[in-house]
C-alpha cells in the first residue's frame, strides 16, 4: 500500500537538466577548465558538494568547491528568473496525486532552486516536505535523500512511491526501497540497467495518475 509519493524535481517537474548542463559547461570553459563528454552523466544526481568537488578535481575548474557551487547556483537562479521551465502537465499531476497522498520532493538541486520552482509552480503549499541532497550525507544514486524525505513525511520508505527521470535517480529511489515510477528524460535518458529497476515506466508525466501510482 502506498502512503506517500516523493517526486524528483529536475526532469520531472521542471525541465532543467539541460539548463544545469549548459550552465556548468559554460562556467567550466570560461574558467579555463575542460568540460568532457561524460561530465553531464557523471554529475547527474550528485549533491551540490559532490558536483562542485567534481568540477574542481575532474574538470579543472579553479576555486574551492564552495566558490564553484555559489557561482553555478547564481547563474542557475539568473536563468530561472521568475519563470522556471515547468514541464507541461507536471503541476497538474502533482496536484492530482496530492489530493490522495502526502507529497514530498527529493532533489539534487540546491535549496534556493527548489524554493524558486515550488513558489513559481504554486506547489509550495501542497508539498509537505522538500529535501535537497545538500542536506544529506550522499547524493543520488545513494538512497539518502529519499530516505530523509520518507522520514520527514513519517512514512516507511517501502510505503512510498517515487517519481524519477534519470539513471541515478531511479537507482536512488530503488535503493531506498520505494516503488519507482520512471518517466525517462528524453535529453539524458537513463541506461537500460537503471530503467529495468523501475516498477513502472511512463512515456510522459501526463500518464502519471493516482491509479498508476497505486498500482
pLDDT in tens, 57-82: 999 999 999 999 999 999 999 988 87
Same domain for 160 and 138, yes or no, is yes
Average of per-residue pLDDT across 26-32: 97
Of the listed ranges 3-7, 38-42, 102-106, 119-123, the one predicted with least confidence: 38-42
pTM of the model: 0.90
| Residue 44 shares a structural domain with residue 94 | no
Provide the 3-class DSSP secondary structure of residue 137.
Answer: coil
> Do 168 and 151 share a structural domain?
yes
**Across residues 183-207, what is the average pLDDT?**
94
DSSP secondary-structure letter at 108? Answer: S
Examine the domain organization and report whether 141 and 167 are in the same domain: yes
Examine the domain organization and report whether 21 and 113 are in the same domain: no
CB-based burial of residue 75 (10 Å sphere; 0-12 exposed, 13-18 middle, 19+ buried)?
A: middle
Note the pLDDT tens digit of each residue in 2-24. 999 999 999 999 999 889 999 99
CATH number at residue 144: 3.40.50.1000
Count of other CB atoms within 10 angstroms of residue 200: 16
- pLDDT of 154: 98
Percent of residues, the chain, with pLDDT higher than 70: 100
- CA 23, 29, 31, 34: dihedral to nearest 10 degrees? 120
**What pLDDT score does 37 carry?**
84
Is 147 found in the same domain as 111? yes
Alpha carbon distance 186, 24 (integer Å): 20
Is residue 50 a contact partner of residue 69, using CB atoms and an 8 Å limit?
no
How confident is the model over 203-210, as a mean pLDDT?
96
One domain, residues 170 and 135: yes
Residue 4's pLDDT is: 98
| Total count of domains within the chain | 2
**Domain span holding position 197:** 4-15+84-214
Strand partners, 130: 105
**Co-location of 102 and 182 in the same domain:** yes
Percent over 90 (pLDDT), the chain: 92
Of 36, 52, 80, which residue is a domain's last? Answer: 80
Amino acid at each position: 500500500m502506498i502512503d506517500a509519493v516523493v517526486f524528483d524535481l529536475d526532469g520531472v517537474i521542471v525541465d532543467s537538466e539541460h539548463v544545469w548542463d549548459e550552465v556548468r559547461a559554460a562556467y567550466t570553459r570560461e574558467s579555463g577548465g575542460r568540460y568532457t563528454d561524460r561530465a553531464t552523466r557523471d554529475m547527474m544526481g550528485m549533491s551540490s558538494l559532490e558536483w562542485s568537488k567534481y568540477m574542481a578535481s575532474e574538470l579543472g575548474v579553479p576555486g574551492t568547491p564552495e566558490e564553484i557551487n555559489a557561482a553555478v547556483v547564481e547563474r542557475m537562479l539568473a536563468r530561472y528568473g521568475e519563470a522556471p521551465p515547468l514541464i507541461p502537465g507536471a503541476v497538474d499531476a502533482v496536484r492530482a496525486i496530492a489530493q490522495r497522498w502526502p507529497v514530498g520532493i527529493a532533489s539534487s538541486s540546491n535549496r534556493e532552486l527548489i524554493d524558486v520552482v515550488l513558489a513559481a509552480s504554486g506547489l509550495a503549499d501542497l508539498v509537505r516536505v522538500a529535501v535537497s541532497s545538500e542536506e544529506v550525507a550522499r547524493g543520488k544514486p545513494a538512497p539518502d535523500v529519499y530516505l530523509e524525505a520518507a522520514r520527514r513525511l513519517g512514512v516507511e520508505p517501502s510505503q512510498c512511491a517515487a517519481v524519477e527521470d534519470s539513471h541515478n535517480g531511479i537507482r536512488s529511489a530503488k535503493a531506498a526501497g520505494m516503488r519507482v515510477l520512471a518517466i525517462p528524460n528524453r535529453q539524458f535518458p537513463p541506461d537500460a540497467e537503471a530503467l529495468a529497476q523501475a516498477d513502472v515506466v511512463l512515456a510522459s508525466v501526463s500518464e502519471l495518475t493516482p491509479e498508476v501510482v497505486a498500482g
